[in-house]
Chains A and B, each alone.
Chain A
């Protein structure tokens, strides 16, 4: 671990990324081939396992959805991360921002990955989203009133809006940032302002798209249930996931000899603070959602929790409370942990796994007859497959691009950044 101070302390502009290797090149190509191979094989096994279930792909769809919404926390989270850094004109994060931009611009791959669960829905086949069945929607009064929103046509439109918006926004940030690499100092400073100007309104668009996307993909699995906090709940996982993933990605990059002197313990310290903060935020939002439903005690709302408190789902709920909040809260509390590479890596991986457990807890109980936690091999293969293809997408784009916004006027300050 690097000790305090690092090499740059005066913030002079010389040696920007000096000597640092900021291209993935052959490492990126190798990662792409490996990840794509693993992804295709893992999803192939998943499809085979899913076919053998003989339940109209219901089991496969559920496992796949858990894996997909988990990966989406990283992809959508990265877009949020880039946007917020631009809004607040953050200096410290400049050395990391390009990596986040590269992850965020994987939105088209995310859209492709969502097709196995989204396509049947758009075609009106209720594999796991019961609301795609028009006859069922007309049966009950409370569902009839939701037909205006929960119908395949409107969903298809929304789906295009979500992923279209994320694709355009992430492309905008990446293209501007890459263009800045070749600009003069004056133009580069202007680009900073251009990106910042757009980031504000874009954040409103992001808030709306992530909220409704979470409602559509996860909450509508139980079409009768509703929680106005659901979007924020999912968003909390997004921020937690992207900060954990960024820390791990940077550690991996440095292990491969990339960005070794640009990114210091001070940057990791700040990422660790974000992981800690959003561990608390997740618990805060999760409990707020729970307490209101619990206190009001209205049957159509509490049923959702009743299912999740029964049998082994109840144990999983307790596991989430302690594993996702109490234990990592004390684990991440100390300054030392956030500045120690191995300790931080441990908690980042821990929280990413916990986000998966959380997504599993959200999605799986709607699987028919899932009175107990039905974890099986297919869940694991879906998880590996979706993650591997996502990584392959990022590696494919990143291999020939710079990993550092080398011409950003804020870079010198970011290189010299010191954390107390």
Chain B
């Protein structure tokens, strides 16, 4: 106790704070507590080196409301975790992780569990401190020498002078009747300074300011632009222990990392012996009819429109006129090196065999790359089906529209 540095803040003799009784054993303390409770005191407490079983009953302490704090905090943590993960991953910035749905409950459960436990635990700790009026930097009992043994082997009971039933003489007699080992009047604390130590104040201010810095940096990063690459903390992805295609690898006799196919074998799914379906060929020429694997129905058409929207519209435009966003941008730059994308509804493409169209999508044409690696075979055929529909739509007459839908054209 560092209480000898300064004189008391308030002058005059210190008033009595309460009466302290000392006991040797937990049963004595329990006995005394029952007696004080029976006498009707309200402002009193017991102090012991460890939790004394049964003291709550003896003192008539009601069950704490702390569990309710914990339950509420746990539920808030759970709700926070669900909302956070839904908002960030399924709503505000949709992002596919591991091929799972955007909002994927099983993947969210660990966070739900953790935030539930985290908020429950912190709330329990903070709630416990608050309900116990902690932290409590100083207390009149700190000035009592014999009270120091409360952390060792002595048990204490104090009745405060502010209790309406407190009376200097009678209360002392009552405590004596509980077979207290010693009884001592506790005076108000006139020694400890009431002001917080200056060092502590400055320390708290520095911590408070420092804790704002990360938020300030984050806020700055959100609202300013920078041309330097972002800070790359975790470099795991930069040096991966693997070989990329076409790299050298002296482990093999031919120094190639890519291994050639083994003679006489075909990889799973690579046995493509149907020329019409896989190459668009019939005999030596392009096929003019769709392969039998392609079913003519609404579902295939929808699939074709969807794939067309993903892979073709950037250059060829929404309805295949060759006016996609990329084309528009290239035109506006006017660099002179740009080969404009084909208008797919023009006559020569209308006459082109579907097999040739298929070949163009698969292997590319002029500066258009091949899409065989990105679009599945069935989907390439579905796209062609949709392209055929687009071509038809450009030369259709009102008679092509179903009678019941014609009204909507006016």
Interfacial residues, chain A to chain B (CB-CB below 8 A): 4-5, 9-10, 284, 287, 290-291, 294-295, 297, 333, 335, 416, 418, 420
Contact = CB atoms under 8 A, between A and B. Distances in A.
Interface in B271-303: none
Contact of B67 (A284, A335, A416): A335
Contacts, number: 33
Contact of A333 (B27, B71, B99, B107): B71
B374 interface: no
B109 interface: yes
A9 B54 contact: yes
A335 B106 contact: no
Given A4-B57, A5-B54, A291 B109 contact: yes
B106 A291 contact: yes
Contacts of A333: 71
15 contacts: A4-B57, A5-B57, A9-B53, A9-B54, A10-B27, A284-B113, A290-B106, A291-B109, A295-B106, A297-B98, A297-B99, A333-B71, A335-B63, A335-B67, A418-B53
- Of residues B53, B67, B99, B107, which shows the largest number of chain A Cβ atoms within 10 Å of its Cβ? B53
B15 interface: no
B173 interface: no
A39 to B, nearest CB: 41
B56 interface: yes
B110 interface: yes
Interface string B94-109: 0000111000001101
A326 to B, nearest CB: 12
A295 B107 contact: yes
Interface string B1-37: 0000000000000000000000000010010000000
Contacts of B27: 9-10
A290 B110 CA distance: 12
Contacts of A5: 54, 57
A313 B38 CA distance: 61
A333 B67 CA distance: 10
Given A9-B54, A418-B53, A287 B67 contact: no
A10 B58 CA distance: 13
A197 to B, nearest CB: 28
Contacts of B109: 287, 291
Contacts of A9: 27, 30, 53-54
Contacts of A418: 53-54
Given A4-B57, A9-B54, A291 B110 contact: yes
A294 B57 contact: no
Give the 10 A-B residue pairs with the shortest CB-CB distance, closest first. A418-B53, A4-B57, A291-B106, A294-B106, A418-B54, A10-B27, A9-B54, A5-B57, A287-B109, A5-B54
A409 B71 CA distance: 39
Give the size category of B's interface with A.
10 to 19
Interface string B58-95: 00000100010001000000000000000000000000
A1 to B, nearest CB: 15
Nearest to B113: A284
Contact of A420 (B30, B56, B71, B106): B56
A117 to B, nearest CB: 33
A225 B53 CA distance: 51
A10 to B, nearest CB: 6
B229 to A, nearest CB: 31
Nearest to B57: A4
B110 A295 contact: no
A290 B67 CA distance: 31
Nearest to B56: A420
A416 B100 CA distance: 55
A10 B56 CA distance: 15
Contacts of A294: 106
A297 B106 CA distance: 13
Nearest to A420: B56
A291 B104 CA distance: 11
A202 B107 CA distance: 37
Given A291-B110, A295-B106, 8 more contacts: A9-B54, A287-B106, A294-B106, A297-B99, A333-B71, A335-B63, A418-B53, A418-B54
A333 B120 CA distance: 14
A11 to B, nearest CB: 9
A5 B57 CA distance: 8
Contacts of B53: 9, 416, 418, 420
Contacts of B51: 420
Contacts of B110: 291
Contacts of B30: 9
A188 to B, nearest CB: 24
A284 B117 CA distance: 13
Contacts of A295: 98, 100, 106-107
Nearest to B97: A295
A7 to B, nearest CB: 12
A4 B61 CA distance: 13
Contacts of A4: 54, 57
Contacts of A291: 106-107, 109-110
Nearest to B64: A420
A287 to B, nearest CB: 6
Nearest to A419: B53
Nearest to B52: A418
Contacts of B57: 4-5
B268 to A, nearest CB: 14
A269 B281 CA distance: 79
B56 to A, nearest CB: 7
A294 B100 CA distance: 10
A290 B109 CA distance: 11
A287 B109 CA distance: 9
A418 B55 CA distance: 10
Nearest to A9: B54
A284 B71 CA distance: 19
A335 B67 CA distance: 9
Contacts of A284: 113
Nearest to B99: A297
Nearest to B51: A420
A272 B99 CA distance: 42
Contacts of B98: 295, 297
Contacts of B107: 291, 295
Tell which of A4, A9, A294, A416 has the most Cβ of chain B within 10 Å: A9
A247 B99 CA distance: 47
Nearest to A291: B106
B70 to A, nearest CB: 10
A9 B100 CA distance: 59
Contacts of A290: 106
Contacts of B56: 420
A52 B110 CA distance: 48
B81 to A, nearest CB: 14
Taking each of A291, A294, A420, which has the highest tally of chain B beta carbons within 10 Å of its own beta carbon?
A420
